[in-house]
Structure 1
């Protein structure tokens, strides 16, 4: 009897999942809603009585949970970095050359379709989905677990298997075109604004607060990358891991391919340039990943992306439209950016009215004239840009576009530094967009993250004369009663904002340094400067040459930081921020060393080790006083070499006569 019940549950599960696919993906209804509901109710009752036979992917499990009032921000254990892009064969061959220079010629690549959707990270514990987090800023994202549980292809529970106790799997949530068109038509018929494209629809859906509403919208998901502790001990390669992931019950794109040569890669790219139009979902390119995990570790990362992967973008859609006029935007650093205002035109599913022109050089290169008919593309399928002019349609006697010599906002004469293409307004203390932009940058999520204070609030307070310098933010409490009397600002919202300002004083030094808005200093550079010099006073005391010697800083950034920190007005501002209680020094953690046998020695780890992961080995070295470095130089004391070490590192170490040791040598040095 039980065998018959299990067979009926399996049959209903398969039938209903197939009907869902037909309805949501193919926009086809093979049975009536009434008959579907009868089958679903039968399955629900059987599963309730015999839960041991319930399939983790049962359609009864995808109905949504409680309403989410606010999405929780969650830090990624492994950063969700973006990929570098290329648009031509030559750049892809250069990527391959860079890879081979580091790891040698024995390289395989995995080629994957680049889905146009929403990146998601899923965490499983003991085979159960416990957390789903969006990419966010790559360091942290929004926890959307209840919403993601409604996606039919994402299992809540895995069947027994050889997967790790805890692991993270990443993928892309998307919507099939047929389902998008059907739902958009429903919105149009209901008089509700339609979505521009399936990606926007999928992204908007995942951010709905009511999972039951999310469950009504047909989302799909492909998974494509695994993270776990000691992953290299489980699998030798990316290809091996995704085959295992498929066996665990995850949906992997069937079109993923293992390529043994660049010729194979180019064949894959060429095939899908045409075949992508027959897919039921949108892709905008191909992702190419080094297959071998040890080689991936050897290649490492830049601040923004892995060196072992790249995306090849297909040629963007191009349209023709009329240039109505050019306006100029002034950013917080004073950079003046020209913007083409266009006659509205449909491009890649969205209506485009404005497009980037980058700088004066680009205007000159295009030889733009007033009223020109221009060609517009979406660079990387995201930002529209003017790429050319249809000269045959140019009216006789039209004047060429002349880049302004003064700031369009404050009238100050523009400057253009040698070797740079961008014009700048130097009037940072009297130019409104710069003042407001710096204030808005300061309060941003990745900077001081001041809760209860947004861009519109900054604009309002600037107009009222309450804010001019960033240090003024910390004087707002002195105007508390005045603020509560403002229109559209209730007492509770003002209290919340002031509490957010107070909480921001606990932000670490690198966040404060980034928030200052120093030109060329992004999040990563701010962190490197803070970690190297420890305090703002030591950065101020350093020469530009000393700053440039810090890894990844370089001369241009060093000059910018030096000039900023030797401006009397900026030093006055920093002094006010210090008085307000902001942190301008690294909070040193007291480190209890297990020993000092490696004190004063520098180490670089390369390759794969049988008894340690690279992180474990690095922790062992640092716990005995050793210092880890990221590159080979004459200052390196030891290169710790494992299997599959890159040939370029080996050759450089031998040339500089740097001792090459093993993990066992490290143990012997610690315990002589």
Structure 2
């Protein structure tokens, strides 16, 4: 954070509602930006919102779940194009904004790898091009396929369009070209070409493109390749996906080889040896930014050694071995016209500032976040105030401060409502029984009787990372709920039968037709079977985001087992409660909300009703079958071959379940020097106890001889101390 950034909340409880609200905003912008090439905010506004998320998640790591927009990649591919499944996911990067964040990135990498502060660690630094990510698949040196990033796992087939881009070679040249090489990079448009294109667009009577990035995206995603051929698109290669072999053992060496193969690469990429070198290059690039022929919004740092990259792996949807250092936020001054209080799916009341339209970095801004009622009071924001608005890295804007000397006479402090604006129920701030601290979020107590909560829960249920039902967007959900057609998630799967029996068919309603209704019913039918983790996430249980949903799905395997554990956990002295708490990373708060969910009769009835309509199948394995996949692993004592973070990450990548406590359900206990009570309990229970070396052999699929109690084992990496 810089000294111009809004202050962070003091506690996790205060930070959580702001994080939740920003997450919903970014999800909507992702759809507009990545799929429709029609951003609702500028790149800087969008980055500003993500920057705030990153800051919140850095300060409060428990917020950093896959459900966070900071962990999301793009949006679902458009149906206008054929789709291509990426053999290796195209993931996004984490962002940093301050000098100390860069130093922390360097230190974090060293901690994970167990490197000393003075050990050699080379990191590349390259300009972050503001364009459209694209993957090029070469087989025997010839271009055979091209795809956009899409949602990171599936992109749009733009092969025909990419073949018209002069900068992208049809055939790779030189020696050492792998039989299979998936090259990844950025399609972009240079500033002079963008200005010329917009001039032609305006002359033709059409709306101009907002910026070069949108022009490049719109050009590459034309249905007619002939249109793309007329657009001056460029390309820089900077990464790779699936490959039969790589031409080097380093990031820099591989990019150099790409250049020899005939692929355009950025000449401003350099190799750095310290955090100080990285910052020096960042400042040099920042000084050149305005003079560069293309738009950039930061500098990307990548650990150079590919062996280190492999060990570091990924967290959520971003690599641990790379980060984007974004340029500072931009600001503007405008008038606060009103404050709207919106109701979320968990009943949270979130204030949104309505602003007199103002241009911030080339984008018109009309809404900004106010976070929560404490933030309004802290900044003393009043309707009619002149406020400074900041966009930090292409995201939704936020109000930085009030220009107090311009406050109009008679402006009154904002009175945050104590009743729900949607249903009139009391809106209260809960109190943490353990700390006595008031919740920063005020919540509607109307529950399922609150229409705003019901609609938001339904929207969440059909969202991309939940059931992902195409054709059930915000407008459709709101309409169907208002007319009583869909009140609960299970109603969605009864919609077709109800429509057949109804007097007013959907196809006869305004805005619908036979084809659209048929497509909607087909999309619903296609989601009658979903992975258990998506099923759990879709229910919108507080604190059960994507990460905790995966933990539950991986640990219990079936909805029956989850329900049994959640029901029994109502008793904190029960074995079920202990089992939930033993799931690595699953905290008390998540266990409490899961138990509360199943203790509610209405929730349990909807759970059963939904399972009568859909099948929640076991979560897909995280990795190919290994000697340890599916096993519950506990690490205790000091391990010397890798750090605890690396061990845990490797174990989960092999399909193991890492637990923090030993029980009769534990499969393997890995012990190192200094192991104490956990080792003693493991031996008393007759569990399979292995040394660090024996564990590594299991993880690597090697045969190991152990004098400890035998049993089948599942692979996972080792860790540090209790």
Same fold (TM over 0.5): yes
| Deviation of 1:355 (Å) | 1.2
Tell me if the contact between 1:74 and 1:140 (Cα under 8 Å) persists in the aligned partners. Answer: yes
Residues 93 and 601 (structure 1), Cα distance of their counterparts in 2 relative to 1, 3 Å cut:
closer
Q: What corresponds to 1:517 in structure 2?
A: 540
Residue ranges of structure 2 left out of the alignment (5+ in a row): 1-77, 570-576, 676-689, 708-722
Contact 1:81–1:304 (CA under 8 A) maintained in structure 2: yes
Aligned residue for 2:109? 99
Give the C-alpha shift of residue 466 in structure 1.
Answer: 0.9
Q: Given the alignment, which residue of 454, 476, 479 partners 2:495? A: 476
Higher relative contact order (CA 8 A, sep 6+): 2
Q: 1:547 to 1:181 in 2, by over 3 A?
A: farther
Q: Distance in 2 between matches of 1:100 and 1:596?
A: 27
Contact residue 412 and residue 426 of structure 1 kept, 8 A:
yes
Larger mean Cα displacement after TM superposition, 186-195 or 367-376: 186-195
Cα distance in 2 for residues equivalent to 1:600 and 1:548: 14
Structure 1: distance between partners of 2:465 and 2:377: 36
Any conservation in 2 of the 1:412–1:425 contact (CA below 8 Å)?
yes
Structure 1 position 434, deviation (Å): 2.0
* Counterpart in the other structure of 2:618: 586
Equivalent residues in 2 for 1:349-498, closer than 5 Å: 349-417=362-430, 418=432, 420-481=439-500, 482-498=505-521
Aligned to 2:702: 667
Change beyond 3 A, Cα 1:484–1:426: same
Instruction: Return the alpha-carbon distance in structure 2 between the equivalents of residues 173 and 192 of structure 1.
Output: 23
Larger CA deviation: 451-460 vs 506-515: 451-460
Q: 1:224-263 to 2 correspondence within 5 Å?
A: 224-229=238-243, 234-263=247-276
**Distance in 2 (alpha carbons) for counterparts of 1:605 and 1:224:** 35
Q: Quick one: distance in 2 between partners of 1:393 and 1:600?
A: 62
Written as runs of structure 1 = structure 2, the 5 A alignment for 1:254-653 is 254-417=267-430, 418=432, 420-481=439-500, 482-542=505-565, 543=569, 544-580=577-613, 582-586=614-618, 628=656, 653=672
Please state how far the C-alpha of 1:79 moved relative to its aligned partner: 2.3
2:90 counterpart (64, 80, 99): 80
CA contact (8 A) 2:181 2:240 kept: yes
How many residue pairs match? The answer is 577
> Alpha-carbon deviation of 1:88?
0.9
Tell me which residue corresponds to 1:141.
Answer: 155
Deviations 1:318-355 (A, max 9, x none): 11111111112222232222111111111111111111
Q: Is the 8 A contact 1:436 1:459 kept in 2?
A: yes
Q: 1:116 to 1:423 in 2, by over 3 A?
A: farther
Paired residue secondary structure (2:411): coil
Cα distance in 2 for partners of 1:427, 1:367 equals 29
Question: How far apart in 1 are the matches of 2:480 and 2:462?
Answer: 13
Deviation at 1:451, TM superposition (A): 3.8
Q: What's the CA shift for 1:102?
A: 2.2
Counterpart check, 1:90 vs 2:69: no
1:85 is paired with a residue whose SS is: strand
Runs of 5+ unmatched residues, structure 1: 1-67, 608-613, 640-651
TM-score under structure 1 length normalisation: 0.78
What's the CA shift for 1:200? 2.0
Say which SS state the counterpart of residue 504 (structure 1) adopts: coil
Structure 2 length as normaliser, TM-score? 0.73
Q: CA deviation at 1:234?
A: 4.8
For the aligned residues, what is the CA RMSD?
Answer: 3.5
Q: Indicate the structure (1 or 2) with the bigger Cα radius of gyration.
A: 1
Deviation, structure 1 residue 670: 8.6
Q: Is the 8 A contact 1:133 1:142 kept in 2?
A: yes
**Partners of 1:598 and 1:444 in 2: CA distance:** 29
Alpha carbons of structure 1 residues 241 and 671: separation in structure 2 relative to 1, 3 Å: farther
